[in-house]
Amino acid sequence: MKLWIRDRGLLLVNAALFLISFVGMVISGVLNYNEEQRAHGEPGVTLLGFFGTGDFLEATFENWESEFLQMGMYVVLTAYLFQRGSSESKLPDKHEPQDDDPRTAATERDTPWPVRHGGLLLRLYEHSLSIMFFVLFAASFLLHAVGGSEAYNEEQASHGAPGVTVFGYMATSRFWFESFQNWQSEFMVIAVMIGASVYLRERGSVESKPIAMAHRDTDT
């Protein structure tokens, strides 16, 4: 059991941090939502009822969409672009194992089955990581619009103004402000990580080059 946990520690700890943060978001979110409802003379909701509100959907998925977009773009861009000296980049003048054509690889029993099968399955599998992120981004983007439109229509109704459809909400400046304010922060962090890893180090981390390695060199 200890060996199993050790081999999956990075995933398990990050999953636990996500769950803790998610629970914290939900609890604080329902308290904030009910405070706003009372301030407008409207009834509050239970903890479970909060999951069906536009506020919950909007707050959750406008953040998730930016994370999935960030990672999907990062996966694709690192396949084609370079930053010499960064631990986040391949070397521009060296063939990397990630560029090998799997069709010429010797297959074994534990080789991923799409590689052994070939054809269209292999074609999709070659890009399955970015496909997953972009599918999750598209789903989160749509759910952000659904939740945002519900929250927007509640506000409109409280002011006696007409509501909008989901697609109508996607045409508002509010929807795009919510999206871009998250997207810009995600790409900023990635740019900082790429540039900082050229000159700064973290001993023991796979995200860092060896401490004594020259800034221009890249360990891949």
Q: What pLDDT does 51 receive?
A: 97
DSSP 8-state code for residue 40: T
Token duo for residue 169: 């909400």
- Cβ within 8 Å of residue 170, ≥6 positions away: 145
Tens of each residue's pLDDT in the chain, 220 residues: 889 999 999 999 999 999 999 999 999 999 999 999 998 888 999 999 999 999 999 999 999 999 999 999 999 999 999 999 999 998 888 888 898 999 998 889 899 999 999 999 999 999 999 999 999 999 999 999 999 999 999 999 888 899 999 999 999 999 999 999 999 999 999 999 999 999 999 999 989 999 999 998 876 5
Q: What pLDDT does 41 receive?
A: 87
Q: What pLDDT does 94 receive?
A: 86
Token duo for residue 135: 């599918």
- Which element (helix H / strand E) includes 151? helix 128-158
Q: What amino acid is encoded at 85 in this protein?
A: G
Q: What amino acid is encoded at 200 in this protein?
A: L
Give the CA distances from residue 68 to residues 134, 141, 145, 190, in Å, rounded to whole numbers and listed in that order.
7, 10, 16, 13
**Percent helix / strand / coil, the chain, rounded to 5:** 70, 0, 30
Token duo for residue 202: 């973290």
Token duo for residue 211: 């401490």
DSSP 8-state code for residue 81: -
Question: Which DSSP string corresponds to 112-127?
Answer: -HHHHH-HHHHHHHTT
